[in-house]
């Protein structure tokens, strides 16, 4: 079939297998060129099919030569519809890894479930023996709990209604959004889905299964962002979940250090992901941020961030530099005073009629489409392609 993007809000319901493969190949080449002198030998990446999780897996494999197990929940293609982008990304990754002589397997299932955790333990034991790096990069909207109830995350402020500018990415219209505050249940559910509880359960399962190396590093990802997004992000329901994640890191680190390991949280830069696209206000902020950082020569995508995380933080030798709260700050360039002051100036001025001169809206749109394999250089989007791609074939 000829596959075109079908965008509905912050989701694209189609994906292009050739475009996804080209993007994975591009990221792998970035990691190869860096040629990291040290790194993991065997990595488990939970949430490995898109965004920072995918780039982490690519960096571990093609930057460090690690064998990898990726855990994700994706849908295969059929004769009538495309697979999800994460399926195509994972299939392309597995092909490249095999061509490079690297061990790589994928586990397609609900990462929150005890069954998938046990399957992962068995895959690691059979294929890698142990893992010395565990990346937790899960970004799911809901979680089925042990009693069968479903917790759903909410993108809401806490305490009072939040009003600010927001952007319709497709039309370029800047308007005001008003978001009502979360109730107690929504806050609790968001922490259940996006906090640190499941990360700890993964570490528990690996340790109990005897497949967590004594000196293993485990890393989860977080975000802080600027003051102008705090009400909807860091001081909202998501921020409450991130607080829980970071508290979990401190407990895990104390525990793992007794056996020679460590647990860390990396605060990463704002990038275009499915998750960030769903948060009101954030796409407008990212569009302004991209324009400013590109003008200053500071812009990074997911793969550049992960290569820097591995090469300059996790495996640079010695103690990892942390902030006062014990976090790696990979958002250091985003949060530079000169960058943020210029973004704030543009935020005050931005409107529907001025956005083209202030923000990188075209860059945001392109990055969004590339998440799904579109707008990738060198791909013939008028050609017929087979939407059925085997995950491990």
Catalytic residues: 233
Beta bridge partners of 72: 108
- For residue 292, the number of C-alpha atoms closer than 13 Å in the C-beta half-sphere is 22
**Which three-class secondary structure state does DSSP give residue 1?**
coil
CA distance 110 to 75: 12
Identify the H or E element spanning 222: strand 212-222
What end-to-end distance do the CA atoms of the chain give, in Å? Answer: 20
How far is 199 from 248, CA to CA, in rounded Å? 8
Give the C-alpha separation, 101 to 99, whole Å.
Answer: 6
Cβ neighbours of residue 211 closer than 8 Å, sequence gap 6 or more: 121, 124, 125, 128, 129, 130, 131
Helical (H) or strand (E) element with 45: strand 42-46
Cα dihedral sign for 28, 32, 34, 36?
positive
The DSSP 8-state label assigned to residue 214 in this structure reads E
Counting beta carbons within 10 angstroms of the beta carbon of residue 65, is it exposed (0 to 12), middle (13 to 18) or buried (19 or more)? middle
Instruction: Measure the CA–CA gap between 377 and 25, rounded to whole angstroms.
Output: 12
Closest CA to 285 of 369, 165, 370: 165
């Amino acid at each position: 079939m000829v596959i075109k993007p079908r965008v509905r809000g912050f989701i694209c319901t189609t994906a292009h297998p050739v475009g996804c493969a080209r993007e994975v190949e591009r990221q792998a080449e970035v990691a190869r060129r860096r040629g990291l002198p040290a790194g993991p030998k065997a990595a488990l990446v939970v949430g490995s099919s898109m965004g920072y999780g995918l780039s982490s897996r690519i960096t571990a494999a093609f930057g460090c030569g690690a064998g990898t197990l990726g855990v994700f929940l994706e849908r295969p293609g059929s004769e009538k519809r495309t697979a999800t982008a994460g399926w195509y990304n994972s299939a392309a990754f597995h092909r490249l890894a095999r061509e490079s002589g690297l061990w790589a397997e994928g586990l397609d299932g609900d990462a929150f479930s005890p069954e998938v955790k046990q399957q992962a333990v068995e895959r690691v034991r059979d294929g890698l023996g142990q893992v010395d790096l565990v990346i937790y990069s899960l970004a799911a909207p809901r979680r089925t709990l042990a009693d069968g109830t479903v917790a759903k995350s909410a993108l809401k402020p806490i305490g009072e209604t939040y009003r600010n500018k927001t952007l319709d990415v497709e039309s370029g219209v800047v308007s005001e959004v008003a978001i009502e505050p979360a109730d107690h249940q929504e806050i609790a559910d968001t922490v259940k889905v996006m906090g640190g509880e499941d990360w700890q359960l993964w570490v528990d399962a690996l340790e109990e299964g005897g497949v967590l190396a004594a000196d293993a590093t485990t890393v989860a990802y977080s975000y802080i962002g600027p003051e102008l997004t705090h009400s909807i992000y860091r001081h909202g329901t998501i921020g409450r979940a991130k607080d829980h994640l970071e508290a979990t890191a401190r407990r895990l680190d104390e525990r793992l250090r007794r056996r020679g390991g460590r647990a860390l949280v990396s605060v990463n830069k704002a990038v275009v992901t499915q998750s960030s696209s769903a948060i009101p206000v954030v796409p407008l902020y990212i569009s302004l941020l991209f324009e400013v950082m590109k003008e200053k020569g500071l812009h990074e995508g997911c793969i550049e961030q992960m290569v820097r995380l591995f090469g300059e933080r996790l495996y640079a030798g010695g103690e990892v530099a942390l902030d006062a709260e014990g976090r790696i700050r990979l958002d250091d360039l985003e949060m530079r005073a000169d960058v943020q002051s210029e973004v704030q100036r543009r935020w005050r001025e931005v409107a529907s009629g001025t956005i083209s001169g202030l923000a990188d809206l075209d860059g945001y749109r392109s990055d969004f489409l590339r998440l799904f394999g579109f707008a990738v250089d060198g791909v013939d989007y008028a050609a017929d392609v087979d939407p059925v791609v085997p995950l491990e074939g």
